[in-house]
Amino acid sequence: MKNHSLMEQRANLPADDGWADASVEAGERMIRGRLLKFADWKYRAGKEQELIEDGRALAALATVAMWVRWEDGKPVQHIVREPGRRLPERDELGHNKKDEWQVDSKGEPQDPFQNTRLVYFIDPRTAEAFTFSTSSWGGRNAVTDLGDQITRMRSIHKDAVPIVELRAAEMPTQHGRKSKPVFKIIGWKTTSSGGEQATPVEGQITAQQAKREVDRHEMDEDIPF
């Protein structure tokens, strides 16, 4: 049997090789790529709980805020924040009777709803995808802080995408010293003009340059004319 090179085999395939449609299917999932969690100063990914090195650099593409209702250790309902609106208050969701809640290992009733944030990351070198999920106060605050920085940068670079390092920091609590995730911005990339399908490309801006640009822009806006 005649052996064909990889390029020859690729040339004989249909022009539409199906990968774009497969990507759309992946984009419809709530969890894209490997699930990324933070606990006890460490980030871990996937079912195998692979330890992710401190300072791993990832591009932060998007975020989702939602209430997740759990039953028997499984998510059974997602109430996602609508664009431009706040999440519903907890008492608007139902399931408010504590005597009907499931209990934990200590016999304490557990609220079936968890206020949750997802952040979609990709590795800018390999395109590996991660979905960071958190329901803790420290985790949600880290997402909010990142969102604030992104909004400020996009006031002057509307298509800016942050490159962040996965870090951890101490968080004092009434139960002692705890840890919280930190997304440290180390640079920015703009996107191509291809609209929603655009991916991070050249035009990288360092974190220091970005701060100077934002500060100068905000100062200019404060000057009365």
Domain boundaries, the chain: 29-222
CA distance 81 to 62: 13
Q: What is the pTM of this model?
A: 0.76
CA distance 65 to 79: 9
Measured from the Cβ of residue 59, the count of other Cβ atoms closer than 10 Å reads 20
pLDDT at 161 over 80: yes
pLDDT of residue 225: 32
CA dihedral for 157, 158, 164, 169, sign (positive or negative): positive
User: For 40, phi and psi rounded to 5 degrees?
Assistant: 55, 50
Burial class (CB in 10 A: 0-12, 13-18, 19+), 69: middle
CA dihedral for 158, 161, 164, 170, sign (positive or negative): positive
- Measuring CA to CA, which residue among 31, 35, 33 is closest to residue 47? 35
**Mean per-residue pLDDT over the chain, rounded:** 83
Kindly list the distances between the CA atom of residue 186 and the CA atoms of 21, 134, 158, in Å, as whole numbers in the listed order. 33, 22, 18
pLDDT at 205 over 60: no
Beta bridge partners of 101: none
- How big is the chain by its Cα radius of gyration, in Å? 22
pLDDT of residue 17: 79
Q: What pLDDT band is residue 9 in, cutting at 50, 70 and 90?
A: low
Identity of the amino acid at 63: T
Cβ neighbours of residue 1 under 8 Å, at least 6 residues apart? Answer: none
pLDDT at 80 over 50: yes
- Measuring CA to CA, which residue among 60, 57, 64, 63 is closest to residue 161? 60
Average pLDDT over residues 2-12: 61
Lowest mean pLDDT of 26-30, 51-55, 90-94, 211-215, name the range.
211-215
Both tokens assigned to 27? 């984009």
Beta bridge partners of 213: none
